[in-house]
Structure 1
């Protein structure tokens, strides 16, 4: 099936820790049966580290790309339990999520950690998906731009992408996994501001996605916004019915 969408719509599915090895393989093969083909649509899935190699092998030479949910910035060494950006690249990853809100707020990742992970991705040729977002307290205090500006500056100031691609995902912390999605118009306005801010640090086209309680019911309201290049989907990407429905609604919008 071939589809006509606005220039490059991104649909990224973060499977988090929802799916085991067998479940991940079943889901990727089910998605591949749909034979999504579109030059202007980019679908990527982010399985657990345990399943990445098998999922990447299944998706090889198909329109579905594969990414890592996290990386360690060291190339190799005595870092028990960690997986480097190079290792993920070696098993077939194209993308890596960097600075996801759950990494920042549950595991205490700092802006400095995020910067080192970005640099590691650039070093090995992974496309980093830099996740930024404000907390509920930031939003209520009118500090959304302050928080995002700080995250962007720490991540991007002086960063040499060496001609590689960068993607930004705006994911307000208060919307992640809560069902309380950001209003599409509000997301559009914030993402429009992010675009202008990114120009201070990076030249060229930098796609900006929205993430936060995205579902089949609301996805079209986001991707229809001219400022929003696509979506980073969490729980709704972890089952065939919900993710395939979401993709189909983007295609038919």
Structure 2
């Protein structure tokens, strides 16, 4: 049985004051969550958020990590540094990193491997652009991205989380229909089954303009195990409503 999971990705948002206010609302409302909950925050706020979450069931995550362990890599943040702040999760391969920083499938796989070596769970993002979808390349693109990871990790694949985020539905207000999202999740699940029986149980999240009014129907799909939530994670009421919409298997 796969426990559903909702992870908030604050992206490049936040301040000391707004973070404290947002998390006070989230923690007051999360109660005994029906799903696992995590918050992935910008690097400068890891210390603050670690302190705010320390007595809660909400896990802390980072939004990226370096493939390097240490050295002359100005601006990079290693997995050991994230460990120091108690991060349990780290997002790797987000579409914004792939597009803005030209991160390759091979680099994303290496980052996932580094996270696992540090005892953290990588949330591995895959997804296609609108042009790729309209060209009928969705299956080929997401499988290429995931295969780079499973080929490197092999039996360790069972320790990751996958997030399908159609690039055309991120921050655009457009959302894949539940049927469209499920179709891609099923493709990803099919591939994971070829890796190992354990990998077949990897949780696959949907990330693409998830909101309180569409979360329940998305999460009701057979292979959708929760969401990677962007903008809605910055509004406590919306984030809590999305977490409450997860299904109970």
What TM-score comes out, normalization by structure 1 length? 0.91
Provide Cα deviations, 1:191-241, integer angstroms capped at 9, x if missing partner. 011101122335412111100011111111111112110011100101223
Equivalent residue for 2:15? 20
CA distance in structure 2 between the partners assigned to 1:139 and 1:186 by the alignment? 11
2:13 match: secondary structure:
coil
Residues 1:199 and 1:248: Cα distance change in structure 2 (over 3 Å): closer
1:147 match: secondary structure:
helix
Q: 1:33 aligns with which of 24, 28, 34?
A: 28
Residues 1:54 and 1:167: Cα distance change in structure 2 (over 3 Å): same
CA contact (8 A) 1:21 1:50 kept: no
CA distance in structure 2 between the partners assigned to 1:137 and 1:154 by the alignment? 22
Equivalent residue for 2:132? 138
Where in structure 2 are the equivalents of 1:56-135 lying within 5 Å? 56-135=50-129
Equivalent residue for 2:41? 47
Residues 1:221 and 1:173: Cα distance change in structure 2 (over 3 Å): same
CA contact (8 A) 2:216 2:247 kept: no
Are 1:199 and 2:198 matched, yes or no?
no
Alpha-carbon shift at residue 117 of structure 1 (Å): 0.4
1:27 match: secondary structure:
helix
CA contact (8 A) 2:79 2:114 kept: yes
Equivalent residue for 2:4? 9
Alpha-carbon shift at residue 72 of structure 1 (Å): 0.5
1:231 match: secondary structure:
strand
CA contact (8 A) 1:71 1:85 kept: yes
Q: 1:172 aligns with which of 166, 170, 183?
A: 166
Return the structure number with greater helix share.
Answer: 2
Equivalent residue for 1:3? none
CA contact (8 A) 2:10 2:42 kept: yes
What is the root-mean-square deviation of aligned Cα atoms in Å? 1.9
Q: 1:223 aligns with which of 197, 219, 222?
A: 219
CA distance in structure 1 between the partners assigned to 2:197 and 2:2 by the alignment? 19
Unmatched 5+ stretches in structure 2? none
Residues 1:249 and 1:194: Cα distance change in structure 2 (over 3 Å): closer
How many equivalent pairs are there?
Answer: 246
Unmatched 5+ stretches in structure 1? 1-5
Residues 1:123 and 1:161: Cα distance change in structure 2 (over 3 Å): farther
CA distance in structure 2 between the partners assigned to 1:79 and 1:163 by the alignment? 28
Residues 1:222 and 1:58: Cα distance change in structure 2 (over 3 Å): same
CA distance in structure 2 between the partners assigned to 1:249 and 1:132 by the alignment? 23
CA distance in structure 2 between the partners assigned to 1:161 and 1:54 by the alignment? 35
